[in-house]
Amino acid sequence: MLVLAKRDNAIHERLTADLADVEARFAAELRSDLDCVNELVEHVERYRGKMLRPTLVLVSALASHPDQPTEPTTRPGHRIVATVLEMVHMATLVHDDILDEAELRRRGATINHLAGNEAAVMLGDYLISHAYHLCSSLGDAEISRAIAHATNTVCEGELLQLANRNNADLDERTYFEIIRRKTASLCGVSCRLAAVLNNTPPATTDALYHYGEKLGVAFQIVDDVLDLTGDERTVGKTLNRDLEKGKLTLPLIHHLASLDDTNREAMRELLEAQRDRSLDPAVRDKQAKLLRDRLNADGSVEFARQRAAELVASAKAQISEHLPESPARTLLLEMADAVLSRKF
């Protein structure tokens, strides 16, 4: 999880217990009578890291509680929604690793590297189907449709990104639309549904959705920067996949826009070389370093980080304006700040 305010013992204890419940529900829901299925499920559980989406559900639930009780309180429905959204997220990771041909995640082998693409496709589908099986236990059509809509939006974002692979003319507007859909939509619905389950006024549910969405966009920008500039041992997953797969991210979009025609064409050739799998890995690594140096030198990496910081500030403003002061609200603000300082 990104952050826990340990100085507030009540909040810390509540979240620790709730997240443990989410993990237990996750494992129980996915348990099969087939050993081959259980082995893959146990492996994918190692993907669990920051648990951002479940934490957003639970902290938003505490922050939007209408009565602000002395003891932090969540509902069973909050923990079910948190589990469902973690399953959906895990499914997207499994499928993303196939698309990216990634070999490493959370410092371990990806499912596709371990068991092949066929098994990874089916495991992703297994996660999705169980997510909706568990969600149906709530008996709430509004919540089920909201999660389904967010999942549809994630798929649309991925398809939009695929449609723009190798597009050296990708603009900022399209880039932000891609990450709003494929990353931020699940973060937004995580926060919104927590408030819906608390029967809070529409202004509060809307504010929490916008907080989560902006946080999700900022999170993805930082993730994209780490893919270009991070250390694989620290980040814990295969890096430079965006370059190899022809995905332009914000630092590259900003850099290309700043170049004249001649230098832009030279940069396009450099990007094309990064996609050449026949190129000697040492040569490709040297070119990737040259590219990173250019992005740092002309301020493109800093530009992306600044955009993320602006989104975090806007997300925090939503919370400060529409939620009453409480330890949980403070934690939401701290979670937003933690997005900017993450190294993995």
Answer yes or no: is pLDDT of 131 > 90.
yes
Q: Within a domain: residue 309?
A: yes
Q: Within a domain: residue 117?
A: yes
Q: Within a domain: residue 215?
A: yes
Q: Within a domain: residue 3?
A: no
Closest CA to 129 of 157, 88, 186, 94: 88
**Position 209 confidence tier, pLDDT thresholds 50, 70, 90:** very high
What residue has token string 């937003």?
336
Average pLDDT over residues 221-235: 77
Q: Within a domain: residue 210?
A: yes
Instruction: Please give the Cα distance from 1 to 332 (Å, whole number).
Output: 12
Instruction: Please give the Cα distance from 107 to 264 (Å, whole number).
Output: 35
Answer yes or no: is pLDDT of 87 > 70.
yes
Is residue 180 within 8 Å of residue 213, measured between CB atoms?
A: yes
- Rounded alpha-carbon distances, angstroms, from residue 314 to 73, 118, 209, 317, 319: 27, 42, 12, 5, 9
Answer yes or no: is pLDDT of 69 > 70.
no
What residue has token string 């479940």?
54
- Rounded alpha-carbon distances, angstroms, from residue 289 to 91, 253, 255, 282: 32, 17, 15, 11
Average pLDDT over residues 111-121: 94
Lowest mean pLDDT among 46-55, 86-95, 307-316: 46-55
CATH (domain of 157): 1.10.600.10
Average pLDDT over residues 175-194: 97
Answer yes or no: is pLDDT of 65 > 50.
yes
Helices 185-197 and 76-100: crossing angle in degrees, nearest 10, is: 170
Q: pLDDT digit string (tens) for 276-299?
A: 777 787 877 788 788 888 888 999
Task: Name the residue with higher pLDDT: 243 or 322.
Answer: 322
- pLDDT of 3: 46
Q: pLDDT digit string (tens) for 297-332?
A: 999 999 999 999 999 999 999 999 999 999 999 999
Q: Within a domain: residue 65?
A: yes
Q: Within a domain: residue 318?
A: yes
**Position 230 confidence tier, pLDDT thresholds 50, 70, 90:** low
- Structurally, the chain folds into a number of domains equal to 1
Helices 117-135 and 141-163: crossing angle in degrees, nearest 10, is: 150
Is residue 189 within 8 Å of residue 146, measured between CB atoms?
A: yes
What's the N-to-C CA distance of the chain in angstroms? 12
Instruction: Please give the Cα distance from 145 to 129 (Å, whole number).
Output: 14
Cβ burial 307-340 (10 Å sphere, 16+ → b, else e): bbbebbebbbebbeebbeebbbbbbbbebbebbb
Q: Within a domain: residue 1?
A: no
Is residue 176 within 8 Å of residue 226, measured between CB atoms?
A: no
Domain that holds residue 16: 9-341
